[in-house]
């Protein structure tokens, strides 16, 4: 349809809606909106809000899904670049509601829970809403056909926020198909952007690139449409990082006009890692900036789901670059329990830290199953770490086999940077033994910072670290001992042993050194 014809069609829809409102034919006005929802939500969401504000409450009660639709459009109108949040939809959803209304209201509550950082509860409710959709008859499903792309996008985004990226990709693909079937350009654009970053984090490079191209085409085709959030910019930043194009990656992440909103913490985590790897920022500065980003988000958003995983990975990675492998392990251990896919990212970082500490056996145990992960990024990192550990243990054949598989997987998915999770000396030795003549992951100017080859300090035992931490919290050693449930004499013995390993002679110096090493 030509632009002129499209504008004429929109004017006709608006005229019919206003005529119905003027005649107080509330049902007709709402029905006309739903019949043309794909067009209106993409290009004229204000009109939807106008209907919701004009129709009396009694009419809205007869179509409960409009409470969720109204709130969604309110946030589009108020802040078009930001994601929808649904603070007013956190209500009970009665079982006796018509199925179509129940699914939409459940989805409103899903988004409400997600926006407060309750990712697990939100994902469970998204599953319940999806089950309700599957149980609907064909006629009931047809009643919300125009809303399906919207609810599917919300479910996919929520499942991704909980850390189940593979399943999120499946739901978002379904959302994109539904958007194309209904002509909902906004939802097609959103789904493409979300799919780009989800596949980019997984390491499905070729698939992520396809979705980035799709999102770019929609952006160019409909320049006047305001989008929800810069999901495709995050996907593009990940892909630039994978290619070791750090300048482009940081340019995308630092663009002040880009609003990541709910993706702020994944973007901040990537910025911390890339800023350190590119040597454009000192690791200490990168960690401080990351903490500022965490403190600037809504309470609860950093404490679970994918956000907690990417923050732990970022902290652990940057500490590893500094050679603070013990502190890296501590940072990774603070991450809460999470989805197995997100856990895979933590395991490869723990393995890298164990290698730095010279504990090849523990490194191998961390990645024992991850080389079979459904995420190519995790597979590549796990295989390189496995190859390095085997090489150091003298298993040359096993090391070469693992390294060749890692290299082939990285080449197939455009994951050059994922090879650089071990010291360069190990990488060069593996490449030489494998007969590989291609370039190693080193960008122009040799700017790439990689994990330090060894740990320069004597590692504290668990008891010594516990006493040091308690001593940092209390003025009296007796109070620190009481906190730990040990005698003051036992605490004193462990603390003095910690002094020797830290290279200091008093408590104040020990606490200062503990902070410097990232142990406190």
Query: How far is residue 108's CA from residue 177's CA, in Å, rounded to a whole number?
Result: 21
Q: Under CATH, to which class is 339-437 assigned?
A: mainly alpha
Give ∠ CA 494-498-501 in degrees, rounded to 5. Answer: 140
| Burial degree of 310 (CB within 10 A; 0-12, 13-18, 19+) | buried
CB-CB neighbours of 484 under 10 Å: 16
Going residue by residue through the chain, which has 520 residues, state the pLDDT in tens, using 9 for 90 and above. Answer: 444 455 777 788 888 888 888 888 888 888 888 888 888 888 788 888 888 888 888 887 777 778 778 877 776 666 544 444 444 445 555 566 778 888 888 888 888 888 888 999 999 999 999 998 988 899 888 888 888 998 999 999 999 999 999 999 999 999 999 999 998 988 999 999 999 999 999 999 999 999 999 999 998 888 777 655 778 999 999 999 999 898 999 999 998 777 787 899 999 999 999 988 887 778 888 888 898 889 888 878 898 899 999 999 999 999 888 888 888 888 888 888 777 777 888 999 999 999 988 889 999 999 998 878 889 999 999 999 999 999 999 999 999 999 999 999 999 999 988 988 888 888 889 999 988 776 677 644 445 666 766 666 777 887 888 888 888 888 888 888 888 888 888 888 888 888 888 888 888 888 888 877 777 7
Among 338, 190, 337, 173, residue whose Cα is nearest residue 263: 190
DSSP letter string, 115-177: HTT-HHHHHHHHHHHHHHHHTS-HHHHHHTGGGHHHHHHHHHHHHHHHT-HHHHHHHHHHHHH
How far the first Cα of the chain sits from its last, in Å, is: 63
Cβ(318)–Cβ(286) below 8 Å: yes
Cβ(265)–Cβ(297) below 8 Å: yes
Query: How far is residue 126's CA from residue 140's CA, in Å, rounded to a whole number?
Result: 19
For the chain, the farthest-separated pair of C-alpha atoms sits apart, in whole angstroms, at: 86
Strands of 369-419, DSSP E: none
Cβ(119)–Cβ(158) below 8 Å: yes
| Burial degree of 416 (CB within 10 A; 0-12, 13-18, 19+) | buried
Query: How far is residue 389's CA from residue 352's CA, in Å, rounded to a whole number?
Result: 10
CA separation (Å) from 259 to 216, 230, 275?
17, 6, 19
Stretch(es) of the chain classified as CATH 1.10.10: 462-517
Contacts of 467 (CB under 8 A, 6+ apart): 480, 481, 484, 491, 494, 495, 498
Q: Under CATH, to which class is 462-517 assigned?
A: mainly alpha
Hey, what are 63's tokens?
């179509």
Query: How far is residue 84's CA from residue 77's CA, in Å, rounded to a whole number?
Result: 10
Give ∠ CA 403-267-258 in degrees, rounded to 5. Answer: 135
Query: How far is residue 375's CA from residue 204's CA, in Å, rounded to a whole number?
Result: 7
Cβ(396)–Cβ(388) below 8 Å: no
Query: What was the pLDDT predicted at 59?
Result: 83
Query: What was the pLDDT predicted at 253?
Result: 92
Query: What was the pLDDT predicted at 484?
Result: 84
- Helices and strands (H and E) in the chain: how many: 28, 0
Stretch(es) of the chain classified as CATH 1.25.40: 339-437
Query: What was the pLDDT predicted at 85?
Result: 47
Hey, what are 28's tokens?
């007709």
């Amino acid at each position: 349809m030509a632009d002129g014809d499209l504008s004429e069609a929109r004017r006709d829809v608006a005229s019919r809606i206003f005529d119905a409102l003027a005649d107080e034919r509330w049902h007709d006005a709402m029905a006309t909106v739903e019949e043309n929802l794909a067009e209106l939500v993409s290009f004229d969401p204000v009109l939807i809000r106008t209907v919701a504000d004009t129709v009396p409450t009694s009419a809205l009660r007869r179509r409960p899904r409009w409470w969720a639709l109204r709130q969604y459009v309110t946030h589009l109108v108020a802040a078009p670049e930001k994601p929808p949040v649904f603070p007013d939809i956190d209500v009970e959803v009665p079982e006796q509601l018509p199925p179509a209304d129940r699914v939409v209201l459940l989805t409103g509550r899903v988004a409400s829970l997600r926006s407060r950082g309750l990712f697990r509860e939100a994902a469970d409710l998204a599953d319940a809403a999806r089950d309700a959709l599957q149980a609907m008859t064909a006629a009931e499903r047809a009643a919300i056909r125009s809303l399906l792309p919207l609810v599917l996008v919300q479910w996919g985004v929520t499942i991704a926020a909980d850390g189940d990226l593979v399943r999120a990709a499946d739901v978002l693909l379904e959302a994109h198909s539904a958007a194309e079937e209904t002509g909902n350009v906004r939802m097609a654009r959103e789904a493409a952007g979300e799919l780009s970053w989800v596949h980019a984090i997984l390491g499905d490079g070729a698939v992520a690139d396809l979705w980035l191209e799709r999102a770019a085409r929609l952006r160019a085709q409909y320049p006047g449409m305001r989008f929800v959030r810069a999901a495709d910019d995050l996907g593009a930043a990940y892909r630039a990082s994978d290619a070791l194009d750090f300048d482009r990656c940081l340019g995308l992440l630092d663009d002040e006009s880009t609003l990541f909103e709910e993706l702020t913490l994944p973007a901040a985590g990537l910025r911390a890692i890339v800023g350190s790897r590119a040597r454009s920022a000192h690791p200490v500065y990168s960690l401080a900036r990351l903490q500022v980003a965490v403190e600037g988000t809504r309470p609860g958003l950093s404490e679970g789901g994918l956000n907690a995983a990417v923050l732990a990975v970022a902290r652990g990675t940057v500490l590893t670059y500094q050679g603070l492998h013990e502190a890296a392990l501590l940072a990774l251990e603070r991450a809460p329990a999470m989805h197995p896919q997100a856990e895979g990212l933590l395991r490869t970082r723990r393995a890298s830290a164990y290698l730095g500490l010279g504990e090849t056996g523990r490194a191998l145990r961390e990645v024992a199953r991850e080389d079979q992960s459904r995420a190519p990024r995790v597979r590549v990192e796990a295989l390189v770490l496995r190859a390095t550990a085997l090489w150091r243990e003298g298993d040359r054949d096993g090391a070469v086999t693992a390294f060749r598989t890692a290299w082939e997987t990285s080449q197939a998915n455009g994951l050059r940077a994922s090879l650089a999770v071990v010291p360069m000396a190990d990488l060069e030795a593996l490449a030489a033994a494998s007969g590989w003549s291609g370039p190693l992951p080193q960008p122009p100017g040799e700017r790439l910072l990689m994990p330090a080859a060894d740990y320069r300090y004597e590692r504290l035992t668990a008891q010594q670290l516990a006493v040091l931490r308690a001593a940092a919290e209390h003025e009296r050693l007796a109070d620190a001992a009481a906190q730990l449930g040990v005698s003051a004499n036992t605490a004193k013995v462990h603390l003095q042993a910690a002094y020797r390993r830290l290279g200091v002679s008093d408590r104040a110096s020990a606490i200062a050194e503990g902070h410097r090493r990232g142990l406190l």
